[in-house]
Amino acid sequence: MTNMANTYHQVYIQTVFSVKYRAALIHKDWQTDLFGVIGNLINETTCKTLIVNGVHDHVHCFISLNPSRAISEVMQTVKAGSSKWVNDHRLTPSRFEWQEGYGVFSYSRSQVEGVFRYIQNQAEHHRSQTFQEEYLKFLKKFEVPYDVRYIFKEPV
């Protein structure tokens, strides 16, 4: 990493990614451990984990991004390392994989508390809303152009 003396930053991002085919594979017995692994992987990239949480089929990460890191690099580290952890511990009946891609959304300092609470309360949100509904709502709210054919990949 390059020395970034006199570089000051405040970059907050939320990433959202799902289990391949949105399968409900993240079991309550080990999801807290998985979220801890993901948080540690984020921190190892020199970014700072604010919160990681999710439900049976997807994960939200709220991160203070180090400007010397590409979001794609952080996400590649997180998804590869966490799926390896699940597979090494044989926590699912078959090979565990994350869906290709992810959503990433940026926030200002004034929004940090609200985003943190939203991620903290994932189980509550998903009593009345599916992951697909939530994800499409994020894309619309942030005015991200998308093609629904490529968002929710189904098994071939």
What per-residue confidence (pLDDT) applies to 115? 98
What per-residue confidence (pLDDT) applies to 156? 54
Enumerate the domain spans of the chain.
Answer: 12-151
Percentage of residues in the chain with pLDDT exceeding 70?
Answer: 95
**Contacts of 83 by beta carbon, 8 Å cutoff, 6+ apart:** 96, 97, 98
Mean pLDDT of 137-141: 94
Mean pLDDT of 98-111: 96
Mean pLDDT of 121-135: 91
Assigned architecture for domain 12-151 = 2-Layer Sandwich (3.30)
Token digits of residue 58 = 């997807």
Q: What value does the mean pLDDT of the chain take?
A: 93
Closest CA to 122 of 42, 28, 40: 28
Residue 120 has pLDDT above 60, yes or no: yes
What per-residue confidence (pLDDT) applies to 150? 77
Closest CA to 36 of 14, 17, 51, 55: 51
CB burial class (10 A; 0-12, 13-18, 19+) of residue 95?
exposed
Q: pLDDT (tens digit, 9 = 90+) per residue, 6-38? A: 788 899 999 999 999 999 999 999 999 999 999
Residue 155 has pLDDT above 70, yes or no: no
Token digits of residue 81 = 């390392």
What whole-number distance in Å separates Cα of residue 12 and Cα of residue 147? 26
